[in-house]
Amino acid sequence: MANKSESFAVSTTPPTGIISDRQIVILVSLLIGFILFFFMLFPLYSILKMSFLKNGHFSLASYYKYFRTPRIARSLHHSFYVAIISMIVTTILAFFFAYALTRTTIKGKNIFYTIIMMPLISPPIIQALALILLFGRNGLITAHLLKTDWSIYGAWGIIISEIFYCLPHALVILYTTLSAVDTRIDEAAESLGANAFQVFWKVTVPSAKYGLVSAAALVFNLTITDFGNPIVIGGNYNVLATEIYSQVIGLQKFDMGATISVILLIPSVAAFLVNYYISKKSFSLISGQARPFLRPSRMWKKIGFTGYCILISACIILIYVTVVFGSFVKVWPYDWRLSFTHYNFPSIGGYASLWTSFWIAIVVGIIGASLTLVSGYIVEKAKPKGSQLLYLLSVMPAAIPGTVMGLGYILAFNRPYYIFYGTPWIIIINVVICNYTLGMLSSITNLKQIDKSMEEAATSLGASIITTFTRVVFPLSKVAFMQTFIYYFMRSMVTISAVIFLVSATVHLAAIEIIYLDMDGRMGSANAMATVIMVIVLSFLGVVRFIGKKKFSSPQMQQSSV
């Protein structure tokens, strides 16, 4: 019996495009490589050039000047001091929190997890704002209740802010680590006669060592590069990141700014590398076979860990309540009448800045999610020659402090022929590049789950690489695409450090307005702006999740473990 339909009597091959799949891959790789080169390496190069060149000659004069000016040189010591203490405290706090969520049978784990993750959706200076309201010169607790002159401005203000700012980041790593380790080894230790403390110190902690190092390195990196909290609560206590800003924006000393940037780059890159290599190592240890079965914890353990989680959660909630409440109080802490006066933003940006921030965040989300998905596809699936270089370029941004990148953009692009300079587009590009690493890594993780033969099937059926991408790979990456989109949206809404160098007389961003309002002494309005940003991010998340539920609950999504 031959084919019934006559059309199939002869074999046909599909028509092919003008350029081949290989050429398309190479073209796209070159384009992405160029983008990363031009918008990441070129600004970095500009900073290096500025710091090492004096009148066209190599010179260490700027570095000499840095170390000979005590007020500036202090910032290095300050940065390390703050970063190391924050690193130690945050890692320990996060470890016990993660332990409670993964290794005990306490109630309310979901609530605790949600609360500790809250800082991720808010501007990264909310912690400092809350501390000032409570412990500042006019703080509710310091000035009002205790009637003391002491205030939190300075090192401890920064450290406490950083701890709460970094907690969710450290928790995610430790939570993953502790969930992945097989709890049966704990039980084996117990059966061999170890008591609870011995098990904890000799088995649990060592088994999480990679996670601990990785979390500590990440916290160190986040803290030493953070700009928002130190600028708001640091007072006279200058750190590297804020010193760059003061030198450049305050004093117009670009060479000194560049020099401090290079000095800041060293510990930041080092911490990034530690985190990167260790987390690679630790994830290779995670086996799918670890099926933790939790026995009910003892009473004292439950009470202890529940108390601990409540304490940490309460602190975080206090931060948010303070800021939101502070935005409605007429004159904190003297006139407690509620009013909306702080929501009449007096600064130049005002409500317009919120709109600008919003649409920029949407554009950043779309461009960032698309670009990282395509890059991930190139690196993970298409693998042309040199794709490893592309991978390297893609993970680099996380190592570069935002302030350094911001200054780099000024030095590189403040030329009349870069017409995008001074427009929202430079901000969009900057935010996309600064957050490239995580977008790229999550896109790779997602693409790894797509069976290679799926694409080969499409190819063998006659699909070109573009058809394969649009008809097969992209539909299967929709969920991951949405996640990256949301990540970029949130980052764009709240980011401060890099873009503070890039806002101009015509382009204002809401998160930056918080800093300006605070500098103007308008604390209430700063709180109000922070509150509005959080409301926007939360509502947006809600809307996306609502749409997502409707759209992604179709039967096709039942596939997951092919």
Interface contacts to other proteins, rule CB under 8 A: 1-5, 7-8, 10-16, 20-21, 451, 453-454, 456-464, 467, 471-472, 475-476, 555-556, 558-559, 562
In the DSSP assignment, the letter for residue 502 is T
The beta-carbon contacts of 331-340 under 8 Å, at least 24 apart in sequence, are 331/524, 332/133, 332/138, 332/140, 332/523, 332/524, 333/133, 333/138, 333/139, 333/140, 333/143, 333/144
Residue 454 Cβ vs other proteins, minimum distance, rounded to whole Å? 5
Residues 6+ apart with CB under 8 A from 153: 132, 136, 137, 233, 234, 235, 236, 237
- CA 530 from chain centre, in angstroms, equals 18
Residue 21 Cβ vs other proteins, minimum distance, rounded to whole Å? 7
Position 253: which residue type?
Answer: K
Rounded Cα distance, 342 and 527, in Å: 8
Both structure tokens of 290 = 């670890």
- Determine contact, residues 100/178, Cβ cutoff 8 Å: no
In 3D, which of 117, 99, 107 has the Cα closest to residue 174? 99
- Give, for 7, the enclosing helix (H) or strand (E): none
Both structure tokens of 344 = 């009449």
CB nearer other proteins, residue 335 or residue 451: 451
CB nearer other proteins, residue 366 or residue 479: 479
Residue 384 Cβ vs other proteins, minimum distance, rounded to whole Å? 14
CB nearer other proteins, residue 246 or residue 467: 467
Residue 383 Cβ vs other proteins, minimum distance, rounded to whole Å? 13
CB nearer other proteins, residue 193 or residue 555: 555
CB nearer other proteins, residue 14 or residue 56: 14
CB nearer other proteins, residue 191 or residue 554: 554
Residue with tokens 């790894």: 448
Residue 47, burial from CB neighbour count under 10 angstroms (0-12, 13-18, 19+): buried
CB nearer other proteins, residue 8 or residue 201: 8
Residue 14 Cβ vs other proteins, minimum distance, rounded to whole Å? 4
In 3D, which of 385, 329, 343, 372 has the Cα closest to residue 474? 372
Question: For 293, left (φ over 0), alpha (ψ -120 to 50), or beta?
Answer: beta
Rounded Cα distance, 497 and 110, in Å: 31
CB nearer other proteins, residue 236 or residue 554: 554
CB nearer other proteins, residue 8 or residue 340: 8
CB nearer other proteins, residue 22 or residue 54: 22
Residue 559 Cβ vs other proteins, minimum distance, rounded to whole Å? 4
Secondary structure class of 330 (helix, strand, coil): strand
Residue 473 Cβ vs other proteins, minimum distance, rounded to whole Å? 10
CB nearer other proteins, residue 109 or residue 478: 478
Residue 472 Cβ vs other proteins, minimum distance, rounded to whole Å? 5
Residue 23 Cβ vs other proteins, minimum distance, rounded to whole Å? 11
Secondary structure class of 203 (helix, strand, coil): helix
Residue 411 Cβ vs other proteins, minimum distance, rounded to whole Å? 45
Positive/negative CA dihedral, 233, 239, 240, 244: positive
Strands 329-331 and 53-54: unpaired
Residue 156 Cβ vs other proteins, minimum distance, rounded to whole Å? 54
CB atoms under 10 Å from CB of 318, counted, come to 13
